[in-house]
Chains A and B, each alone.
Chain A
């Protein structure tokens, strides 16, 4: 239809910049596409205009709400020089108690104010340590409980953890790659090879199945009782998430946060800063049943495909007296191929699953392991690369004991 005039194109560009500052991945390609799209619609109709920009500039359902908020702010008064008035309007929109403003609107407000100020980092004394530990020091670290570690020990342990690799038992895929000892012959490669010898087939080309590790999902409890372990295990999650593909990491206390994208940042400190910005419930209570219900409903179908392995890291101490835990842990168990419960409380020899949460969860997990020091992390890694035990076998150990 009509060519968008200069002002409109300018405004689309400013709008794209606003979206970018609010954290949406909107690049020049999207801006150009948006200008093109406006040629094909009647820009007099606001809902069509909005739908068109959204179809072109938003690529994920999660970004939709942020986009709609930014749209209603920006195009109410689409004059870049009048950002301030939009910002003032924004203030009025905030919830009076201020504590839980919609996360999107806060991010947009920050973007519009274009403040560079980030929340101050936690005061931590600068760490200087010798990365080359002596043998005895390393030995000591291996068996030391994470809870008992000093800040310096933790820093050293983190270095060790960063070196850990997680070799999950490999799954056969339905893909094939060329291989001299493969199980299947490949006609395509055989015929192509025969071209070298003038159509004479001298050797048969073969191909073998591609194997690859299954997806891994880490559900980590960050409630008060788990605080110290969570700190270290988050480092473990970070190194795993950066080492391989198809890893999803969720943190939970009273609510569930998906931190996979944040953890992908190579720099652990940057990743943790971003995580602490988005996770609202550090060191609070736990509502495992409710959180697992939310995971099952919103995420299980999206991340548990293709034979996923789930690491559930929690001490099983539930604030709500294990309400809804039974059916949700059962469903989680049915939806994944292998469910491993990592529990730091298992470090005590006298531990037995007496708490309500543990009693309910144990029949539905395949493995039950401690995670309280480096040695236990390493034995976890060894067991993950072995064949999985029979399903639901974790409880047998307790049955035999008693």
Chain B
């Protein structure tokens, strides 16, 4: 575990993740205090990436739980192996079922338990993990309530079996895109960090890491253009992920610098709503490109 905020920053940077001071501090505190970290922010700002980077940097296995509406215990935490249980019951019958209590103890043993992501993340028999609970806002409220025990005490209580607690606390990263408000009870158990769109300098650094082949001029112009577009009144602002995709798209088209034609043709990589594309592609496109070139030259 890193011993200071600077070391945490170095750990993230070592894996190619460019984080600002606030995010680095929050990650460091989550590691140092052993608390879950709730990351909220617009899609495509690198929330999920943090968990991956931490797993790689700390040399831990990554356990990922993608949330969706209707996610329940049997998909998220554990399930009993019914086929095996039925088999054991049959075997018990042929052997002569003299001891019913023993049977129920047998078939609710650890061997019959199928571990799903949450259980696997705190399983004492496995090496310590980084647990990523991705897009918690997509799950429904009952699932949040179920998470509370895990987030507070890093343990799971299975009625038939007992409590399974982590020997070494997993690093827990919870992400949310805010399609629904996460309940206060979950928030209180986590450290909180809002992940914003990066500023131009940080976005250039990210692009350098993620698209190393690209020319300095083009990457500066791409970042300046995206930053300019984020000032425009559109429905869905492009995230960092879109910036990286767009850089790849322009490289694939052998562009050396931004040209209004190529920009107009590839806007679908950057913007995902027709209204937004029409809005940007309109009369102002040439001006946005010119602004971006000015900003890139200044940077």
Taking Cβ atoms with an 8 Å cutoff, the residues of A that contact B are 1, 25, 29, 33, 36-37, 40-42, 45, 47-48, 51-52, 54-56, 58-61, 64, 173-176, 187-188, 191-192, 194-195, 198-200, 245, 296-297, 301-303, 305-306, 327, 331
Task: Determine chain A's interface SS by DSSP, over half rule.
Answer: helix
Q: Is B29 at the interface (CB under 8 A from chain A)?
A: yes
B25 with A55: CB separation less than 8 A: yes
B4 with A42: CB separation less than 8 A: yes
A301 to B142 Cα, complex, angstroms: 20
Give min CB distance, A142 to chain B, whole Å: 36
A59 to B37 Cα, complex, angstroms: 11
A56 with B29: CB separation less than 8 A: yes
Interface residues on B, range: 35 or more
In the complex, which residue of chain B has the Cβ closest to the Cβ of A61? B194
A-chain residues with CB within 8 Å of residue B86 when the two chains form the complex: 191
B29 with A58: CB separation less than 8 A: no
A301 with B179: CB separation less than 8 A: yes
Give min CB distance, A263 to chain B, whole Å: 15
A36 with B82: CB separation less than 8 A: no
B69 with A306: CB separation less than 8 A: yes
B-chain residues with CB within 8 Å of residue A245 when the two chains form the complex: 141
Selected contact of A173 from candidates B21, B69, B178, B191, CB within 8 Å: B69
Stretch from B97-105, B259-267, B285-293 that touches the partner: B97-105
- Can you give 30 A-B contacts (C-beta < 8 A)? A36-B33, A40-B29, A45-B5, A48-B21, A51-B24, A51-B26, A52-B26, A55-B191, A56-B29, A56-B191, A59-B187, A61-B40, A64-B194, A173-B70, A174-B69, A175-B70, A176-B72, A188-B74, A188-B82, A191-B82, A191-B85, A192-B160, A194-B89, A199-B93, A199-B103, A245-B141, A297-B235, A302-B179, A306-B180, A327-B275
A-chain residues with CB within 8 Å of residue B194 when the two chains form the complex: 61, 64
A48 to B23 Cα, complex, angstroms: 10
With A64-B194, A173-B69, A199-B100: A29-B82 Cβ-Cβ less than 8 Å: no
A198 to B88 Cα, complex, angstroms: 12
Give min CB distance, B24 to chain A, whole Å: 8
A297 to B104 Cα, complex, angstroms: 55
Apart from A48-B25, A302-B179, A306-B180: 10 A-B pairs, beta carbons within 8 A: A37-B33, A40-B33, A41-B28, A175-B70, A188-B80, A194-B89, A195-B103, A200-B93, A297-B235, A331-B275
A-chain residues with CB within 8 Å of residue B25 when the two chains form the complex: 41, 48, 51-52, 55
A-chain residues with CB within 8 Å of residue B92 when the two chains form the complex: 199
Q: Is B202 at the interface (CB under 8 A from chain A)?
A: no
A192 to B107 Cα, complex, angstroms: 10
In the complex, which residue of chain B has the Cβ closest to the Cβ of A190? B82
A-chain residues with CB within 8 Å of residue B184 when the two chains form the complex: 25, 59
B97 with A199: CB separation less than 8 A: yes
A59 with B28: CB separation less than 8 A: no
A56 to B22 Cα, complex, angstroms: 12
B178 with A302: CB separation less than 8 A: yes
In the complex, which residue of chain B has the Cβ closest to the Cβ of A29? B188
A-chain residues with CB within 8 Å of residue B190 when the two chains form the complex: 59
B187 with A305: CB separation less than 8 A: no
B140 with A60: CB separation less than 8 A: no
Q: Mark B77-121, 1 if CB is under 8 A from A, else 0.
A: 000101001100100110001001001100100000000000000
